[in-house]
Structure 1
Amino acid sequence: MELAEDVKTSLQKLPSRRVQELVVEVLQELKWVGVEEIEVTPGSSLGDGLMALIYRVRATGRLARAEKARASFVVKHTPRNKARRDVFDVPMLFANEHSFYENVVPALSRHCGPLAVAKFFHSITDGEHDALILEDLKEQSFRLADRRKGLDLRHCRVVLAALARLHAASFVLKEKNAAAFEQLRPRVKDMFWDADREFAFKPFTTSCFEETLRTLKAYFGGDDHENKYIEAFLRLSERGYDFIAASVRSTASRLQVVTHGDCWTNNLLFKYADEQPDSPSDVRFLDYQLTRITTPAADVTYFLFTSPNSILEQHHMDPEKIFSRRCLDEEMARMAPYGLTSAGIVVPAVCVPPEFTPDMDKVLGQTRDDFVQEYAKQMKADTPEARLQLASLLKHCVDRGFFKDL
């Protein structure tokens, strides 16, 4: 396929020659015979992605009959920083997400129709230049919400409905073809909570427990042992990683579904009707690197503990009203410690002011410990918003008896 010289120059803004070649391969598969112009720009703001670099690629060219053609893609690439790659084993994360698009989406969509995911074109999973090429949903008017404002009830309803469709697809597949669902189990891996991942994620979780406790103490003040909320969190942090991992892994088989695994504001794109610019009509989920098979309540608690605004938490987080099925109520209560632990990891990133957003690719050092220490240093949840959100969540759990058995 013909490439103008300035096109070749523009492609060099992508991080590796293999990724540049892959973009051209995608255009060839779309029946392009020539590329006249390519624009490569950053696809996300600083702080919006922890485990990947995002690029937006816009191309104009021509088809076989001299017809004009336009296309826009998102290229998701492994971080350059070695400590950042090592702490999360990023090659395994990219392999997990590749498998989700390549194997899981077709299986789940076969009986339930399209899911709330972007179209997948190609990927590289060589452990060095890992990358995914996906459709650019911005071209369809999807956009990120402001993570610092939190999501209101209208946004949360759209997200929960899309999560319900994703989870329901697993139940339908089990009913229609149980063997096909079982074949998905080895296709996705829990990168944080599986037993063989403890060495990688336990130090990170321990550090986040320490930072969350510091934030909660700043909010509540006084004597730790006279505050029932701090006492409850201390019991949770003492049980630590092993307790949360067991909660995620111990879901009854009949309740297990394919989950998103990382459903928070920065992994959600919303579409709005022209006549209702503040009311979302649709949503797409991004970033399936942490997809896993577990209880649906893991996704729901993760989302509700990290993404709604404080008004929603105070007035709409009544499980009896939101979830009518007894088993889901029970699962929500069981997974509350997981939700609060996840909030301790995510809320600092949600609430950090834009001017203080850290660049994780500039972390000094080359080891897991380097990254964990730097993340804790740069993501201290010392904003009033973070203190309020974490304290409100802890009070929610304790007041409803979710921590009584800790």
Structure 2
Amino acid sequence: MEEQVNVPQIFATDPKLFRFLTKVIHDQGLTPGVEWKVCEGSSRGDNFIAVIKQVVHVAEGGTALNLLVKSAPRNAARRDAFGIREQFLNEIDVYEKAIPRLKSLVGFDLPVADLYGATSSHGEETILLADLKELGFCMADRRQGLSKEQCAAVLRALAQLHAASFALREGSPEEFAALAESVREMFWTQPRRHAFEPFMRNANKETLRLIREYYGSADCDNEYSRAFRQISDLGYDFLANIVTKVPENKKVLLHGDCWTNNLLFKTNDDGFVSAKLLDFQLARISAPMIDLIFFLFTSTKPKNVGNYLEEFLRVYYEEFERRLKTAGFTAAKLYPESELLADWIACVPYGLVVAGILAPALYCPDECLPNLESVKENSREAFVNEYGKVMRANTPESKEHLGQLVKLCVEREWLRILN
């Protein structure tokens, strides 16, 4: 006799997703159907690419399974507008292929959620993860900027990911090459150029205007707006080379989109902060500093970067060194600490452009946040225009962030490439 399962109303219109969920529950040795609790897994503004639900399933005997269900939107125009299938395939490959192999090799856990299952069927892409919020992890307020302690936690998490990747590359070059082949670069390659370059140019124009306004005039250049304009004038190819033309001995698996909305934090009773990395849709193969500068230029206040950069790099490297030693490798031979600052300076133009793209989203007020679910017109342009609300929400806080960040880069002489 076919087992009778109570289908929650929210899954009544998506029976394939529900069948996938029940299969995963069976795979955990549980009997589906006793009790389901489903609620939104993210707030408006926290995620634009996926539909996320928190699902609690209570099986016979009272055993609860807490899941985060991350599904690709079904609307074809929305999927086309944001390259959603490609991003989901990227993330699924990271969770199913890269992370298990890295974990098995290095002998330590990685700061990511456990995967319960995933499907890459076209139009039905779904990832089921452990709900880290049930373990006490929570998202920070993106508008506040991360604290020094939170930044240190993220840098340790990135160091663990990077160290594991270095270990795989050194210990099994063929496996690493296969991994690198499976990871998709979403922005900085010729096949992606036609979609991303116009977006980047528009974001750069808006960033330049905000920097000018912050320092007094939207129509006149000053020392800091001139510096950013020079970066903008270098164009797509220059920035693409920073990301993709990386020495072979520095190529590792990167998170690729490491900013506040893709991070969870937990503070222990002794005050120690730990972090987990979410959302590997933009994972890429590149140099470690690409992740570090992306994170520090977007997710904390520029004054923290200025005050604590050397300390931040030291926190990262100590964790990197410790984890590589656990895996049987010597960090100084693979990536000497003395190279960190030079790599930082080489990546600063990339970091400033990324900050310009993300700053509006960092400080966007609730009333200006896009609501992609509300789009009525079924066209690519309608979804792009709705998302564009973020880029048009230029708050005093985003102006200050960008103005102070470029000033810091000029005053610390991190823009030597422009001289």
TM over 0.5: yes
Task: Show the counterpart of 2:84.
Answer: 90
What letter corresponds to residue 384 of structure 1 in structure 2? P
Q: Which stretch shifts more, 360-369 or 182-191?
A: 360-369
CA distance, structure 2, for counterparts of residue 68 and residue 92 of structure 1: 38
Task: Show the counterpart of 1:211.
Answer: 206
1:227 aligns with 2:253: no
1:271-286 equivalence runs, <5 A: 271-274=266-269, 276=271, 279-280=272-273, 282-286=274-278
Identify which of 47, 52, 57 aligns with 2:45.
47
Secondary structure of 1:8's counterpart equals: coil
Q: Which stretch shifts more, 115-124 or 233-242?
A: 233-242
Q: Which runs of 5+ in 2 are unaligned?
A: 318-335
Q: Is the 8 A contact 1:88 1:200 kept in 2?
A: no
Q: Is the 8 A contact 2:57 2:65 kept in 1?
A: yes
Decide whether aligned partners of structure 1 residues 321 and 205 sit closer, same or farther in structure 2, where only a CA change above 3 A counts.
Answer: closer
Q: Which runs of 5+ in 1 are unaligned?
A: none
**How far off its partner does 1:171 sit?**
1.3
1:5-404 equivalence runs, <5 A: 7-12=6-11, 16-62=14-60, 67-112=61-106, 113-222=108-217, 226-274=221-269, 276=271, 279-280=272-273, 282-318=274-310, 322=314, 325-363=337-375, 365-404=377-416
Task: Count matched residues.
Answer: 396
**How far off its partner does 1:194 sit?**
1.9
**How far off its partner does 1:116 sit?**
0.7
CA distance, structure 1, for counterparts of residue 381 and residue 204 of structure 2: 16
What letter corresponds to residue 351 of structure 2 in structure 1? G
Aligned-residue sequence identity (percent) comes to 37
What letter corresponds to residue 255 of structure 2 in structure 1? H
CA distance, structure 2, for counterparts of residue 398 and residue 370 of structure 1: 39
- Show CA shifts across 1:323-377 (max 9, x none): 7823222221111111111111211111112343221333465555544444334
Q: Is the 8 A contact 1:298 1:335 kept in 2?
A: yes
CA distance, structure 1, for counterparts of residue 133 and residue 269 of structure 2: 15
TM, length-normalised to structure 1: 0.91
CA distance, structure 1, for counterparts of residue 402 and residue 358 of structure 2: 10
Q: Is the 8 A contact 1:2 1:34 kept in 2?
A: no
CA distance, structure 1, for counterparts of residue 380 and residue 235 of structure 2: 19
Q: Is the 8 A contact 1:191 1:197 kept in 2?
A: yes
What letter corresponds to residue 8 of structure 1 in structure 2? V
TM, length-normalised to structure 2: 0.88
CA distance, structure 2, for counterparts of residue 211 and residue 375 of structure 1: 15
Q: Is the 8 A contact 2:370 2:389 kept in 1?
A: no
**How far off its partner does 1:201 sit?**
1.5
- Show CA shifts across 1:154-208 (max 9, x none): 1111110110111011111122212221111111111111221112212221221
Q: Is the 8 A contact 1:86 1:367 kept in 2?
A: no
Q: Is the 8 A contact 2:371 2:386 kept in 1?
A: no
Secondary structure of 1:142's counterpart equals: coil
Q: Is the 8 A contact 1:224 1:231 kept in 2?
A: no
Secondary structure of 1:207's counterpart equals: helix
CA distance, structure 2, for counterparts of residue 140 and residue 234 of structure 1: 45
| RMSD of aligned Cα (Å) | 2.2
What letter corresponds to residue 159 of structure 1 in structure 2? V
Secondary structure of 2:118's counterpart equals: strand
Q: Is the 8 A contact 1:143 1:270 kept in 2?
A: yes
**How far off its partner does 1:102 sit?**
1.0
What letter corresponds to residue 96 of structure 1 in structure 2? N
- Show CA shifts across 1:24-66 (max 9, x none): 011110112342111111000001002111101111112xxxx
CA distance, structure 1, for counterparts of residue 393 and residue 32 of structure 2: 50
Larger relative strand fraction: 1
